[in-house]
Amino acid sequence: MSEGSLGAPVRHAIEWQEPDFIDKEKIDAELRRVFDICHGCRRCFNLCDSFPTLFDLIDNSESGELDTVASTAFKPVIDACTLCDMCFMTKCPYVPPHEFNLVFPHLMQRYRAAEFKSQKPPMMRRQRTETDRNGKIATRCAPLVNWGSNRKNGITRGVLEKFAGVHRDADLPKYQSLSLLQKSKGKAPEVNRDAPAFGRKAVIYATCFANYNNPEIGEACRAVLAHNGVETEFIYPGCCGMPQLEQGDLPRVAEQAQRIARELVDWVERGYDVIALVPSCVLMLKSEWPLLLPSDDAIKTLSQATFDISEYIVAISRENGLVDGLAPLDGVVTLHIACHARAQNIGQKGAEMMRLVPDTKIVVIERCSGHGGSWGVLKDNFEAALRVGKPVSRDASTAGSRYLVSECPLAGLHIAQGMENVGTSRSDFEAVPHPIILFALAYGLVN
């Protein structure tokens, strides 16, 4: 057996429907096997907070080895995992096809699935994951919701922290009075028939964030694609299930995946590509759904037809050619490559797309922002999230850029807040929710 695997990481289907999957004794045995391997390696010490927590547990134990660490002490290690997949994709030498078969994030998922089955999370924690219901309610009273969620509003944020577990100092995304689907109804942009890519068709999966919180991402995407000859439609059958995946509610994720896939695959069969606007949602459609339901033909088809928006623009550039007219941006762009964009194993497509803009300097940061989806805004995690993301915030502060942008809008929000905490905060930069907006700006399609 070789010390480290030289093969590309191999994903195995998640056997979540097998009885042994949630057997607590078998999970504990696997945790001990994996944690002992991690203890002997420690390459992941500078990733998320799971690994420092684990190594501190072992180092402070009676023997300095895992054998004197109680299993009851493992939960903080599991809770600190954000399912970013970076240990699997970039650090661990023991992932399949290596004989050790170490897949740390899936083991964390397995623990959470067993925990969810035996003892559902507190009600308020479950309610936070209901993004569609919450989004529909919040858009109806967006000004009031945004007033209450503003971190400068000490009274309401104190209440939110006490009852919902959301840290009072964490920046939260704003809601819009009209969703992306509502704003775009009957307003399809004219498709440029002279563009080299004319004839392409794509359906844009809006995602809960772009639909309820930032329609500007979807509008910019559609404008750029229409300008380059791509006919588009918006669709949003519901949330991809990432919030439920984080909690271990795998049956709910599978049910959602099957329902959404049935609707989206109809578009694929009509010749449309599928574009998702947020990397976490792209990863769900491309990878997580097929791992949960490997024999579902609709999900297989959908996974092969789904693209990240940056990936899709780069593909058009290579395969067809883009329409001329991209103009330099008025300053340097600091671009953060989100972990769930990296986990797609497609390369730095956000950076490749932005480098198509002429005479514009792009500063790329490829490191965890610390946010981890909803993990980083929680009362128990916010300080750790700022600490993990501190190197990114420091680099962004010292880059001297006109624009700060991440492919993950929530990561961008967190980085901007982190910049306030590193002692080099700047007020002369603009935080942009997604690089597609800057790309549309370079085309003169948005203000």
Domain residue ranges in the chain: 19-118, 123-164, 180-319, 333-442
Rounded (10°) CA dihedral 98, 72, 54, 365: 90
Determine the pLDDT at residue 425. Answer: 57
Strand 430-432 versus strand 362-365 pairing type: unpaired
> Prior bond to 97 cis, omega within 30?
yes
Span 237-266, pLDDT tens digits: 999 999 999 999 999 999 999 999 999 999
Span 316-340, pLDDT tens digits: 999 999 999 999 999 999 999 999 9
Which tokens sit at 165?
A: 């577990």
Among candidates 215, 147, 143, which has minimal Cα distance to 179?
215
Mean of pLDDT over the chain: 92
Rounded (10°) CA dihedral 50, 385, 375, 219: -130
CATH 3.40.50 fits 180-319, yes or no: yes
Model confidence at 2: pLDDT above 90: no
The owner of tokens 């000490």 is 154
b/e map 196-216, b = 16+ CB within 10 Å: bbeebebbbbbbbbbbbbbbb
The amino acid occupying position 336 is H
Model confidence at 6: pLDDT above 80: no
Among candidates 316, 314, 253, which has minimal Cα distance to 280?
253
Strand 333-336 versus strand 403-406 pairing type: parallel
The percent of residues above 70 in pLDDT, for the chain, comes to: 97
Determine the pLDDT at residue 1. Answer: 46
Span 173-226, pLDDT tens digits: 999 999 999 999 988 899 999 999 999 999 999 999 999 999 999 999 999 999
CA 257/CA 298 separation, integer angstroms: 10
The amino acid occupying position 219 is E
Which contacts (CB < 8 Å, 24+ apart) does range 189-195 have?
Answer: 189/222, 189/223, 189/226, 189/227, 190/226, 191/226, 191/229, 191/230, 191/231, 192/226, 192/227, 192/228, 192/229, 192/323, 193/229, 194/229, 195/227, 195/228, 195/229, 195/230, 195/320, 195/323
For the segment 393-399, the average pLDDT, to the nearest whole number, is 89
Determine the pLDDT at residue 5. Answer: 58
Least trusted range by pLDDT, from 253-267, 277-291, 315-329, 362-376: 362-376
| Contact assessment for residue 401 and residue 428, using Cβ atoms and an 8 Å cutoff | no
CATH architecture observed for domain 333-442: 3-Layer(aba) Sandwich (3.40)
Count of residues making up the chain = 447
Model confidence at 280: pLDDT above 80: yes
Q: Do domains 180-319 and 333-442 have the same CATH topology?
A: yes
